Structure 1
């Protein structure tokens, strides 16, 4: 249920309204496609912002776009409110990413390498995360080096809602989040690992501390006023009110500019406020 297109997330999973959040999406897509050309390339991008700022909608929209173009390698969407416990804890993360990776026919030989590992060691999924990614991802990709054309491979992994990953009997939520960050950053630093990684989360202390201690690891995009959320929220509200006017045959003066201005002001950059008003 954690995949971007899973039935559990459904057709109403958060996505960006058309023509909104275009600047931040453009910046991230540019990093996915051309990030290796930067003076100091970074394999990880941290998309952060306060609750309700639209991180999951942006991640979902990016996942859809990358899937259409063949550049989405894998995705995982954590959710503290999901019906399935598998979207609230760390254990399914690596198996889910591996499952998606071996579906790509363009990565010739990967499926066979991974299945051999699982046949030889069925308990591999019970290991620590860093051991799982070593055995199921890094070692297989080292064996594939030079065997197929990497230009045809997908290029990005998206992990959303990291701050919503909860603890289990073994560790706290903060410790689970740090373990995930350590595991993914270690993979990103390995020359055999061919993917860029997008991590979206609130700037919770454990996550913020991890990235602040490794400033050269990740490109940080924070959803603040630089990305003009007010203009996007206004566009969203006007489009939704126009739709409501058509559906209920309301006068064109309904939901005046003053009302929209007030709602934009009240939203304070939080898309979730505008979406709640419309609902």
Structure 2
């Protein structure tokens, strides 16, 4: 390790240099004062003489071999081929080499400063990184995490053409199903494995854009190795405007050219959370149209509510895989139970919550993590937590209904989702009222096909129901256009309660109106469908008995 700086006297008209040597203590010679020029020159001559036996050409390499945190001031270095030279600035230590494939890299320290300054002009969005405090609770989502991690780390299948290689995994789920916790956990795991290039998370009151994502992505690429960082810096020096260009322009100008510098023996994972909350459509277009231009070693894992502006663009793309495992409903009961038991074990009242009450609570959650989390936080701040939990399970807690941090918090989320729908389109409003009214009023769920048959007398088609379901999909438990015969229902009872009680127009659903409508349609269905042609056993009721 170098511990001192020894000033070289300025002779022969050349600029001075500072060179670290041995364990010599720091002296006033480092200040370049005239009073110490003679001792400094003597030390320098002595040092140069000691190097003659080693060969002057290799002296620089021997001096800095295995050294770190070396500061060079006012230095002009004439580098031989394959030498490595380090330039230290206030921000970082950057390594430069005289040879690189694809993009030429400079050893001149002045050029190094330019590269560093150019990289500093890239946007640097804050608070976009994953949060270790928001990962999944221990013992939950084990199967989900294993399957996603396996997909992200799976070796490239050489039997599949490059354009059809899966590069994007879409983890979709309804509101409150724990998508963000899953994304934080995956990103942490990929980071711990050394595979994470970038993570992109939007926090409360933070409106991020596609330009922010591209800045995070490019900075992540710079962290892969010094050659890529220098290559991107060189491109920014050549075209300074790229530092502030739109996302796709930066991708074309800064990312595509450095692909030859990427290692070929590892995967590059990028995590994106809440894609549906992005303010523009550029990021969706990037994932659909531009990601295939990256090597198949890039894997993008993203979470989103299944809204039309995302799913209609990403579904049925050869390089995009839709994660098939559900995040809510009966399949999540065990995960919710594990989460609830863990949270309750941290309280001083957990022994007063009976197994029966816990079972009833788990059923009441309908597998929705957000509802479970909100209830547990709510009772933790109540006077009698076990008693309050029992009242919530029975639907008899006024405190739960009126608290700003409980029911109103959930309703605020539902209203936020609904606010993004096209309420100025009267055709949408008309069909929304019919289809959402059916979900709210029906005692048992029906499939898309069943709903279309029931509402046929009123001119509602299967296509109409599919279209509305696409818009309200974040509030449905498990909707897919590919399964028109699968019964559908709202993601949780709290959505129905919001729509019929507290939702303002035009979200509000008048349940009495829809009960009357369903009664009329049911009678019409009996009249037109319940006939001997369709039900042959009806004939046995004819004749005398």
**TM range, smaller chain:** 0.7 to 0.9
User: 1:23 is matched with which residue: 116, 119, 143?
Assistant: 143
User: 1:59 is matched with which residue: 183, 186, 194?
Assistant: 183
In the TM superposition, what are the counterparts of 1:254-265 in structure 2 within 5 Å? 254-265=352-363
Q: TM-score, normalised by structure 1?
A: 0.80
**Residue 269 of structure 2: aligned partner:** 156
- Alignment partners' CA distance in 2, 1:224 and 1:57: 11
**How many angstroms does 1:183 deviate by?**
1.4
Does the CA contact (< 8 Å) of 1:16 and 1:57 recur in 2?
A: yes
**Residue 188 of structure 1: aligned partner:** 291
Structure 1 192/234 Cα, relative in aligned 2: closer, same or farther at 3 Å?
A: closer
Does the CA contact (< 8 Å) of 2:198 and 2:217 recur in 1?
A: yes
User: 1:47 is matched with which residue: 171, 174, 185?
Assistant: 171
Does the CA contact (< 8 Å) of 2:333 and 2:362 recur in 1?
A: yes
- Alignment partners' CA distance in 2, 1:226 and 1:34: 29
Structure 1 192/154 Cα, relative in aligned 2: closer, same or farther at 3 Å?
A: closer
**How many angstroms does 1:192 deviate by?**
4.0
Is 1:3–2:128 an aligned residue pair? yes
**How many angstroms does 1:91 deviate by?**
2.4
Aligned partner of residue 158 in structure 1, secondary structure: strand
Aligned partner of residue 95 in structure 1, secondary structure: helix
User: 1:198 is matched with which residue: 280, 283, 301?
Assistant: 301
Does the CA contact (< 8 Å) of 2:256 and 2:294 recur in 1?
A: no
- Alignment partners' CA distance in 2, 1:275 and 1:243: 14
Does the CA contact (< 8 Å) of 2:177 and 2:328 recur in 1?
A: no
Aligned partner of residue 135 in structure 2, secondary structure: coil
Greater relative contact order (Cα 8 A, min sep 6): structure 1 or 2?
1
Is 1:215–2:334 an aligned residue pair? no
Where in structure 2 are there 5+ consecutive unaligned residues?
1-125, 378-545
Does the CA contact (< 8 Å) of 2:344 and 2:350 recur in 1?
A: no
Where in structure 1 are there 5+ consecutive unaligned residues?
167-175
In the TM superposition, what are the counterparts of 1:128-143 in structure 2 within 5 Å? 128-142=246-260
Aligned partner of residue 306 in structure 2, secondary structure: coil
Number of residue pairs aligned between Structure 1 and Structure 2: 247
Structure 1 23/117 Cα, relative in aligned 2: closer, same or farther at 3 Å?
A: same
Moved more, 16-25 or 182-191: 182-191
**How many angstroms does 1:124 deviate by?**
1.4
Is 1:236–2:343 an aligned residue pair? no
- Alignment partners' CA distance in 1, 2:307 and 2:360: 30
**How many angstroms does 1:226 deviate by?**
8.5
- Alignment partners' CA distance in 2, 1:239 and 1:20: 10
- Alignment partners' CA distance in 1, 2:258 and 2:374: 46
Aligned partner of residue 303 in structure 2, secondary structure: strand
User: 1:72 is matched with which residue: 196, 200, 204?
Assistant: 196
**Residue 459 of structure 2: aligned partner:** none
User: 1:111 is matched with which residue: 229, 236, 241?
Assistant: 229
User: 2:278 is matched with which residue: 165, 173, 194?
Assistant: 165
Is 1:123–2:241 an aligned residue pair? yes
Structure 1 258/32 Cα, relative in aligned 2: closer, same or farther at 3 Å?
A: same
**Residue 276 of structure 1: aligned partner:** 374
Does the CA contact (< 8 Å) of 1:78 and 1:161 recur in 2?
A: yes
In the TM superposition, what are the counterparts of 1:26-37 in structure 2 within 5 Å? 26-34=146-154, 36-37=156-157
Does the CA contact (< 8 Å) of 1:24 and 1:227 recur in 2?
A: no
**How many angstroms does 1:277 deviate by?**
1.9
Is 1:101–2:203 an aligned residue pair? no
- Alignment partners' CA distance in 2, 1:76 and 1:217: 21
Structure 1 65/258 Cα, relative in aligned 2: closer, same or farther at 3 Å?
A: same
The superposition leaves residues 16-55 of structure 1 with CA deviations (integer Å, 9 ceiling, x where unpaired) of: 0011001111111111121634866311100110111111
Aligned partner of residue 92 in structure 1, secondary structure: helix
Q: TM-score, normalised by structure 2?
A: 0.42
Does the CA contact (< 8 Å) of 1:3 and 1:76 recur in 2?
A: yes
Structure 1 194/187 Cα, relative in aligned 2: closer, same or farther at 3 Å?
A: farther
**Residue 173 of structure 1: aligned partner:** none
**How many angstroms does 1:186 deviate by?**
3.3
- Alignment partners' CA distance in 2, 1:139 and 1:50: 39
Does the CA contact (< 8 Å) of 1:102 and 1:110 recur in 2?
A: yes
